[in-house]
Chains A and B, each alone.
Chain A
Amino acid sequence: MNFKNQHPVKTPFLVATGDDIVETDVLIIGGGVTGTGIARDLTLRGLNVILIEKSDLNAGASGGNHGLLHSGARYVCSDPEAAVECSTESEILKKNVGHCIEETGGLFVAVKGDKENYIADFPDMCKKYGIPSEKIDPKEAREMEPSLSDETIAVYKVNDASINPFKLSIENINDAVSRGACYLSHTRIEAFKIENKAIVYARVRNQISGKTHKIKAKTYVNATGAWAGSIAAMAGIHINMVFSKGSLLVTSKRITKRAINRLRKPTDGDILVPGGVVSILGTTSVRIKSPDNIYPTVKEVDYIISEGEKMIPELKTCRYIRAYAGVRPLVSMGKDNDRDVSRGFTLLDHEKDQVNNLITITGGKLSTYRLMAEKTSDIVCKKHQVSVECRTKMIPLPSTHSGEWSEPGVLVNDPFKPDTLEDPFLCECEMVPASAINTVIDSIKKNGGKPDLSSIALRTRIGKGPCQGAFCSMRILSHLYARGEIMDQTGINDLKYFLNERWKGEQSLLWGQALVQSSLKEMIHCGLFGLELVKK
């Protein structure tokens, strides 16, 4: 039995009813913040849960966003309902998942040429919806944030914060697993077996081993974000999804202490969020046809920079490490402009579509992930006739050792001990030591995943520094081989895949020093190792 081998300890609840059928209360599909959030919520209410993810945690929009915990001020004019939601949720999150959040505070900044009436309405709207904001003299604001443009004309202080979505998902799933949940990465839904208006079981395939098996659950939760439409389609349900791509840029250093928003109607290139030691600038909103294989283009990068530099001139000259893109899954209401489509979430109980035990949750924002998980879990509980209240509002999310390495600069927060010498840094840029990699490898294996460069990179800072994997990829690959985690030639393809994933984030912003670094990477991996000649 495949599962038992992978989870000798953590899956006591799994009962094999046939050759390859596993039973559980709820099958959650999708390992983003919503999926992991639901997993935690439901396990807290005492349900058995299996969470499957076709690649690994936060592969979709959960990993492709600013990491901005909205105070709500951004939506105060365009979407007051979402604004209020954000406001209440962010306060709950600050209390319960504080270790994933940096309470940076935020500024809304208007520069010369921005629309006067929006600036004028902003404080009143904030007041109206109970979102705290405070007017600040532009001069004073420039003392607080010296990199602000000297053409700043109006500034408001709000309670924005930055949140680490990777840590959030890792900790949520860690907590859920500790309460008996089961997480299966690289597991894709192949088909639903539907009988009598209900899904009987789901056939899933492990992407790595290629083996298939069946999971039989009472309820199925489709939390696949941008892929919600295609999952629903497997159950014969049509959801009118609209995909909006947003590209973001990562600077090589943290430019501001606070999250900076442009004080204007939400549009492109108007948010700069600090994330540990870097800042993230975004975004764009481009309608695309499919959520797969998205990447930022040169044009987008140049456009974001040209917008961002109006607010913070340093963005024109500073070094960028990386660009990435995420897809906002929106359920279409027939509007043309994606920014006009509500950023609120969509929760669909497919009982109305003649599939009684499937629920789809999509859309929404990182800031409201907990609320989305709560509402979804409520429906699940109702279906299961479980009357336990949601507890994620009350019980803080524990912090675990394997989760902390996703934090930028985590090691350097501690005073150095001489014994770090025995523990060499495998990633020099972000100073990730071998012991951290080992911790993460163990945690991945515990969750049934395969420790490779990509899964380690998801959980640590490796490859996220200026070298973008040029040196650390090889060092960590050697480390994996030395530990016996890989024992065949697949490591080369793993390396190629990892470098290519890094490359997709780099290729649009290679000039200046970043080009020097990437040339060096090509010299090593193509020039010396000839990886481009290795065929699969």
Chain B
Amino acid sequence: MKDKKYITCDITVIGAGFAGMVAAARASALGLKTVQTGNSSHLYFASGLFDFLGVYPLHSRTVLQDPLTGLSLLQKEMPGHPYSKTSLEAILKSFDFLTRFLQSAGLNYIKPEKGNRSVLTSAGTFKPTCMIPETISKSRLLKNDTNLLLVDFKGLKGFCARQIADILKKNYPNILTLSVEVPGKNGDLNPTHLATLFEDSSFLKELATQISPFLDKVELMGIPAVCGVNKSLEALTRLEKMTGLDIFEIPMMPPSIPGLRLKNAFEKKLAKNKVHFLSQAKIKPPRFNGSEFVLDVMNQNMETQIRSRGGILATGRFPGGGLHAQRGRIQETVFNLPVYQPDERSLWHHLDFFEKQGHLINTAGVETDSVFRPVDTHGAIIYENLYAIGTILAHNDWVRLKSGSGVSALSAFTAVNDFYKKSTTGH
């Protein structure tokens, strides 16, 4: 083993998922010396769509046309929910910051507008969301009588144009489908490999020639969300020029390319902002010495000791490793914080997977005060400068509420701002 390294910084962000990335972005933008640990490849699971609030109340099982109507009800009914700890203004500010940050990293998002947008998914369903990448934005042009051409690629598993068309044909009768064979690829076609091909102009040309005989009367085209990795918008625009059509991407199941674009954009810009990133670091139980957190982390056989005044816990839920469920109890894995959870395991899940209220385990998590500092069962703050953000927060069934990105962005933004305010005013 090599010698131990020592780093001192203002703030450590534990976790490199969406919330962790936003926190690191905000902290570095405010000029805080930031260290980040975690595994950014979890962003491959991100759809790339930023949700705000899609469904409320859950038992209504209806998409909110306007998230604000749901929000005011939610703030009234669920005081523990992260959205209830703050104002609408803060939520919008955090989205605004996120848009600007990603834009500076070369990834264009369409700003929120009044009401939820609905985005066509590869299952043939529409997902309510708030902010979307520009490459998906033209799905708004889809009207009931639009002549839409859906293109899929042979070998790209889980995306079938006929499936979407067949499911939608009741309301959208004018959908045509086309299955394209990628030359030289006769086996599995993996999304990233296909996405890389989209950045090759000869591939785009070949694709355009394959599609062009079928463009009669077609007004709009939908393709799987694999249109380029780092220059997605450019690739999409080029294909639009070649075909003379408006094109939009359709998000599909992981690994998600819009998620990969987010990962790349964050990583690129954070590195520029001099955020020190320790990849796949294993964190030993941290200590707090009265003024600083002391974290011993191991990555790639190298031990590093990080000392920082502030800590941001953005380790996610079960897939991210922030929460771990033993047979009877749920634990927080880094600081062993108290976890709000159902009394016994039989309450964790319903017998029906699609139960309208959602599964109770999804409301488990870390409870916090209004600036997202974890609190114990009596409501007392555990560490002055420790914040918990993102999906680890309790009372937020983000999957069912469609509130994941919103809560993550809001909590990250609020927590970092609070820490910054405290450190500049000298508290």
Give A residues with C-beta under 8 Å from B: 295, 297-299, 302, 421-426, 471, 474-475, 477-479, 481-482, 484, 486-489, 491-492, 495-496, 499-500, 502-504, 507-508, 510-512, 515-516, 519-520, 522-524, 526-535
Contact = CB atoms under 8 A, between A and B. Distances in A.
Residue from the set B62, B251, B353 with the largest chain A CB neighbour count within 10 Å: B353
B356 A532 contact: yes
A482 B353 contact: no
A535 B61 contact: yes
A-B pairs with lowest CB-CB distance, top 5: A481-B163, A503-B353, A478-B160, A421-B187, A298-B346
Contact of A471 (B122, B168, B253, B319): B253
A489 B345 CA distance: 36
B125 A492 contact: yes
B311 interface: no
Given A522-B399, A528-B251, A530-B128, A515 B325 contact: yes
B112 interface: no
B123 to A, nearest CB: 4
Nearest to A527: B399
B318 A519 contact: yes
Given A481-B162, A528-B127, A523 B353 contact: no
Nearest to A529: B123
B354 interface: yes
A334 B404 CA distance: 57
Nearest to A488: B166
Contacts of A298: 344-346
Nearest to A522: B399
Contacts of A488: 166-167, 169
A175 B99 CA distance: 64
Contacts of B326: 511-512
Interface in B387-426: 398-400, 402, 404
B63 A523 contact: no
A489 B163 CA distance: 8
A422 B253 contact: no
A488 to B, nearest CB: 6
SS class, residues of chain B in contact with chain A: loop
Interface residues of B, number: 64
Interface stretch (B151-159, B192-200, B288-296): B151-159
A424 B254 contact: no
Given A424-B157, A528-B251, A532-B356, A482 B163 contact: yes
B352 interface: yes
Contact of A530 (B121, B157, B325): B121
A182 B299 CA distance: 63
A511 B344 CA distance: 12
B188 interface: yes
A303 B370 CA distance: 42
B124 A492 contact: yes
Nearest to B171: A489
Nearest to B187: A421
Contacts of B163: 477-478, 481-482, 486, 491
Nearest to A295: B351
Given A422-B187, A500-B352, 14 more contacts: A299-B346, A474-B123, A479-B160, A488-B167, A489-B168, A491-B166, A491-B167, A512-B324, A515-B325, A520-B319, A524-B253, A528-B127, A529-B127, A532-B400
Interface of B: 45, 47, 54-55, 61-63, 121-128, 152, 155, 157-160, 162-163, 166-170, 179, 186-188, 251, 253-254, 317-319, 324-328, 344-346, 348-356, 358-359, 361-362, 398-400, 402, 404
B157 A426 contact: yes
Contact of B162 (A295, A484, A495): A484
Contact of A534 (B125, B327, B328): B125
A493 B254 CA distance: 21
Given A475-B158, A528-B251, A510 B127 contact: no
B167 A489 contact: yes
Given A298-B346, A424-B155, A531 B123 contact: yes
B345 A511 contact: yes
A486 B402 CA distance: 29
A526 B356 CA distance: 11
Nearest to B121: A529
A475 B349 contact: no
Nearest to B47: A528
Nearest to A492: B167
Contact of A510 (B170, B325, B399): B325
B351 A530 contact: no
A492 B163 CA distance: 9
B71 to A, nearest CB: 18
Nearest to B256: A528
5 contacts: A424-B187, A507-B350, A526-B400, A527-B404, A530-B128
Given A302-B327, A523-B319, A530-B125, A507 B351 contact: yes
Contacts of A512: 324-327
Nearest to A470: B253
Contacts of B317: 519
Given A481-B160, A489-B124, A491-B163, A527 B47 contact: yes
Contacts of B127: 528-530
Contacts of B186: 421-422
B247 to A, nearest CB: 21
A475 B125 CA distance: 16
Contacts of B359: 522
Contacts of A535: 61
A522 B45 CA distance: 12
A497 to B, nearest CB: 10
Contacts of B160: 477-479, 481-482
Contact of A500 (B121, B251, B253, B353): B353
A516 B333 CA distance: 14
B162 A528 contact: no
Contacts of A508: 349
B346 A297 contact: yes
A478 B157 contact: yes
Contacts of A475: 157-158
A486 B167 CA distance: 10
A8 B195 CA distance: 46
A511 B157 CA distance: 29
Contacts of A507: 349-351, 353
B360 to A, nearest CB: 12
Given A507-B349, A533-B61, A486 B123 contact: no
A222 B240 CA distance: 64
A421 B317 CA distance: 36
A528 B225 CA distance: 13
